[in-house]
């Protein structure tokens, strides 16, 4: 398969009153056509900034980017703004975290769904309406003709998220970014939305980047996983390989924090003690050192490089788990 998205030494910084804030630090990633990638990490790890930078959605007056973003053979990092905008919808699309704020509350669903079809694809009013009905059927919304006439507040959270998916898929993008697509949804609806995204990705032969804080979400819905911490990729590999052979202590901590059915309901949930380092004050050692249960003196003073095993599994740790010292 050919490469669809390639990020090379990507750095994203923001100007703040406290100084430069390093949100993404030297990320290298490659996504193949038809492949799904999970980007996992705590809030503040840089995963949302990474996805928005890949699409060119950041305001470059406040965000500063270095490195390259190559999409479908085109270098978007040096391309004119209009060229980047032309990839939106038809090349890349995004499902945002909260459909209630992403959807316009005073416009009907039909108006919001047909707008992109008419502007980006030049469809007539009737063609766009017919296509909108097809899209609502595709995302399994019952009675789509009736749904077109509703306002966002008249739909449930799960139905609003399905509308967001339909809008994102309207112009047949090659790559879909799903940024925390199950936030604020109950467990049953979460499972339905994740399965819908997986089914649509395969049905439409589309690539997908699934951004989440929950490793459990990406377990059955991605081909590869990139774990981010403090703006860096700290572990990367094929999903099955990564779960079977965790190398990074931070990834282990994320796994341990997932609620389990065999835990007592009255028991205390496992948490990762401490907090992310201040992104305006880069540390010389490993960013996870202050929270790591296996920390050694070298970790505090020497920044670990991204190592790679023979099967392509990458990890950023001086003393990786499961590797003989």
Beta strands in the chain (DSSP E): 3-16, 19-32, 36-40, 63-71, 74-75, 92-95, 175-179, 207-212, 224-229, 232-238, 307-308, 314-315
- Evaluate whether 173 touches 89 at the Cβ level (below 8 Å): yes
Q: Which residues contact 16 (CB under 8 A, 6 or more apart)?
A: 280
Q: Which of 51, 50, 43 is nearest to 12 (CA)?
A: 50
Pick out the chain residues at pLDDT < 70. Answer: 1, 60, 260-269, 324-325
- Evaluate whether 50 touches 228 at the Cβ level (below 8 Å): yes
CA–CA separation, 172 and 203 (whole Å): 12
Quickly list DSSP for 219-275: TTT-SEEEEEETTEEEEEEEHHHHHHS---HHHHHHHHTS--TTS-TTSPPP---S-
2 by Cβ neighbours in 10 Å (0-12 / 13-18 / 19+) ranks as exposed
**Residue 310: per-residue pLDDT:** 79
69-104 residues labelled b (16+ CB within 10 A) or e (exposed): bbbbeeebbebeeeebeebbbebbbbbbbebeebbe
**Residue 290: per-residue pLDDT:** 93
CA–CA separation, 295 and 121 (whole Å): 55
Q: Write out pLDDT tens, residues 210-253.
A: 999 888 889 889 999 999 999 999 999 999 999 999 999 999 99
CA–CA separation, 222 and 196 (whole Å): 13
Residue 41: HSE in the Cβ half-sphere, 13 Å Cα cutoff: 27
- What dotted CATH number matches 3-91+174-186+203-315? 3.40.50.300
**Residue 186: per-residue pLDDT:** 80
Residue 293: C-alpha distances to residues 40, 138, 167 (Å): 20, 47, 44
**Residue 78: per-residue pLDDT:** 86
Beta strands in 63-161 (DSSP E): 63-71, 74-75, 92-95
pTM of the model: 0.92
**Residue 123: per-residue pLDDT:** 92
């Amino acid at each position: 398969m050919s490469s669809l998205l390639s990020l090379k030494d990507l750095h994203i910084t923001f100007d703040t009153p406290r100084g430069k804030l390093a949100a993404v630090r030297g990320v290298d990633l490659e996504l193949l056509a038809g492949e799904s990638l999970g980007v996992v990490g705590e809030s503040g790890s840089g995963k949302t900034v990474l996805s928005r930078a890949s699409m060119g959605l950041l305001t470059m007056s406040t965000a500063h980017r270095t490195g390259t973003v190559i999409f479908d053979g085109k270098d978007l990092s040096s391309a004119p703004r209009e060229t980047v905008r032309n990839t939106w919808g038809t090349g890349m699309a995004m499902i945002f975290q909260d459909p209630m704020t992403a959807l316009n509350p005073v416009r009907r669903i039909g108006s919001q769904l047909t707008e992109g079809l008419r502007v980006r694809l030049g469809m007539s009013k009737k063609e766009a309406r017919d296509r909108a009905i097809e899209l609502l059927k595709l995302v399994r919304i019952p009675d789509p003709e009736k749904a077109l006439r509703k306002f966002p507040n008249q739909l449930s959270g799960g139905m609003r998220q399905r509308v967001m998916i339909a809008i994102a898929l309207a112009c047949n993008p090659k790559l879909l970014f799903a940024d925390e697509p199950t936030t604020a949804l109950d467990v049953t609806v979460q499972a339905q939305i994740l399965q819908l995204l997986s089914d649509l990705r395969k049905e439409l032969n589309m690539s997908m980047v699934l951004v989440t804080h929950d490793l459990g979400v990406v377990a059955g819905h991605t081909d590869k996983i990139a774990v981010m911490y403090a703006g860096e990729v700290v572990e990367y590999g094929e999903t099955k390989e990564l779960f079977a052979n965790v190398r990074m202590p931070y990834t282990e901590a994320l796994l341990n924090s997932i609620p389990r059915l065999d835990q007592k309901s009255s028991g205390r949930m496992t948490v990762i003690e401490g907090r992310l380092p201040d992104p305006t004050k880069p540390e010389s050692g490993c960013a996870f050192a202050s929270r790591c249960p296996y920390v050694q003196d070298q970790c505090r003073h020497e920044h670990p490089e991204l190592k790679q095993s023979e099967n392509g599994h990458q990890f950023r740790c001086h003393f990786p788990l499961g590797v003989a010292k």
